[in-house]
Amino acid sequence: MALPLAKRRAAELDSDARAILDEGVAVGAPDISHLSPEQARAALSDVFIPDGEPEPVASVTERKIPADARDIRIRVYDPDPDETRPAVVYFHGGGWVAGSLDTHDGVARSLANEGDCVVVSVDYRKAPEHPFPAAVEDAYLATKWTDDNADELGASEGLAVAGESAGGTLATVVTQMAVAKNVAPPDIDQQVLFYPATDHSFDTPSYEENADGYSLTARSMVWFWNQYLRDSIDGANPYASPLRAPERVLADLPPAALFTCGYDPLRDEQFAYAEALAEAGVRVEHHHYDDMIHDFVNMRRLADPFPGIEAADDARQRAGAALRTAFE
């Protein structure tokens, strides 16, 4: 169950997170809400693609999934190609506008190693060139393809979805779509959700408390939503705002491991989603880091001169443990 509101941000900001924020001020990091989509993509890449060698994974390959009049690029991480393992379909963050296979490569690698599973990271279409529901469609198609082609991937012992921020939203929505589909939906065993956006609304205490100064700002979220949705009415669609799904849909969802942060504008809607899942009878493993900022799991290693956040290791290990437990 979710924590009382008074306990959702009780600790001082983590020193590693503070160091990152201070460095951002020192180098004049731009406000995303003042940038074009192309500039926002470049800015995130400049910070989130670290220098140096990445965490080793035995096999890392890329391929394309055929879709209607297009292809979906995926990157497959396999910790041991000689063994069959469960699969995790992973969706990166970036506000549905930015982010890439490269900006979130580190988390995908850690999930493969910590979860002892094959990770399929998805390069879904981005807004505003491809607004809602394009990313949702790609996320579901990639999950369905992974389920249908598990043997080819060496991953036929279970299926989970995972994602960060906007990618966490896509992961929640994919599980809801799988419940609603009538024709051979993917059989999802677990969802791992890192600080997802769950509601197109800005009217929560956490939006007021964390409006500015903690990496993700309220202005940035308004900008991301405006880029993503075709019209504000899209925000009422459960496939954009999974918190608005009816309880009968939530009741059939797989167990969830949810990761939240105290210094995050999205914190309260994430708690609300945890409560909605629990009330619907879904098992929720809720890990709250009250001294952390949004996207900290992807901040273990950043480009110079930004330092890293050591607590990201703890979250990645907990996510891996949730996946291993789900597949036992």
Question: Hey, which residues are catalytic here?
Answer: 165, 264, 294
| pLDDT level of residue 7 (50, 70, 90 thresholds) | low
| pLDDT level of residue 6 (50, 70, 90 thresholds) | very low
Domain count along the chain:
1
| pLDDT level of residue 326 (50, 70, 90 thresholds) | very high
Domain that holds residue 294: 5-327
For residue 85, give the CATH number of its domain. Answer: 3.40.50.1820
- Is the pLDDT score of 287 beyond 60? yes
CA distance linking residue 119 with residue 281, whole number of Å: 28
Give the pLDDT of residue 119. 98
CA distance linking residue 75 with residue 310, whole number of Å: 26
- Is the pLDDT score of 10 beyond 70? no
- Is the pLDDT score of 3 beyond 60? no
Q: Give the residue from 276, 193, 229, 215 showing the smallest Cα distance to 33.
A: 215
- Is the pLDDT score of 259 beyond 70? yes
Average pLDDT score, the chain? 95
Q: Give mean pLDDT, residues 277-305.
A: 97
User: Percent of the chain beyond pLDDT 90?
Assistant: 91
**pLDDT digits 0-9 by tens, 59-107:** 999 999 999 889 999 999 999 999 999 999 999 999 999 999 999 999 9
Pick the range with the lowest mean pLDDT from 10-19, 98-107, 189-198, 225-234.
Answer: 10-19
Q: Give mean pLDDT, residues 190-214.
A: 97
Give the pLDDT of residue 262. 97
Question: If you write DSSP's letter for every residue of 53-94 in order, what string do you get?
Answer: PPPP-SEEEEEEEEETTEEEEEEEEES-TTS---EEEEE--S
For 108, 128, 152, 214, the CA distances from 60, given in Å and listed in that order, are 10, 30, 15, 33
| Alpha carbon of residue 204 to chain centroid | 21
- Is the pLDDT score of 4 beyond 70? no
- Is the pLDDT score of 307 beyond 70? yes
**pLDDT digits 0-9 by tens, 114-131:** 999 999 999 999 999 999
Query: Which residues face 191 on adjacent strands?
Result: 161, 256
